[in-house]
Amino acid sequence: MLAGFSPGGNWQFTANWMLNSGMPFTPISGFFDKLLLDGTTPINIFNGYEPQFIYDIKNSGRLPAYHRLDLSVTKKFSTGFADFTIGASVLNLYNRANIYYFDKKTGKRVNQLPILPALFVKAEF
């Protein structure tokens, strides 16, 4: 949902709230050790193995739902030689821990960006 408000004086306020259902993913159901016999790795029964993943049914898992609120404010003004826009924004205003992915090797959850404030200036000559 996107909302914007322009009170005048070249000010612009915007709010963007996003809500998404959890994206599908293919979970890992297990692991096995694969003995490397590719000719480049010395055969060593104690160290010649590489972990391999056993995947579950394709797209049978879903990540948690995702939502965040982004706010921004901008002001436009002109000088004799350029038009300027200055502003500030905050992504993920309420610091929601939105998942990005699960790490295959560790199984740990990796989140997207936390609250992220920003200031900016745009000049048009």
| DSSP structure string for 22-76 | PPEE--EEEEEEEE--SSSSPP-TTT-EEEEEEE-STT-EEPPPEEEEEEEEEEE
3-state secondary structure 92-104: CCCCCCCEEEECC
Q: What is the pTM of this model?
A: 0.74
For the purposes of burial, counting CB atoms within 10 Å of the CB of 71, is it exposed (0-12), middle (13-18) or buried (19 or more)? middle
Looking at residue 61, what is its pLDDT?
92
User: For residue 26, what are its two tokens?
Assistant: 């293919």
12: Cβ–Cβ under 8 A, 6 or more apart, which residues?
4, 5, 6, 72, 73, 74, 75, 76
Per-residue confidence at 47, pLDDT binned at 50, 70, 90? low
Domain ranges of the chain: 1-22+64-125, 24-62
38 pLDDT above the threshold of 80: no
- Phi/psi for 53 (5° steps) reads -95, 145
Residue-averaged pLDDT of the chain: 90
pLDDT, position 45: 61
Mean pLDDT computed over 91-119: 92
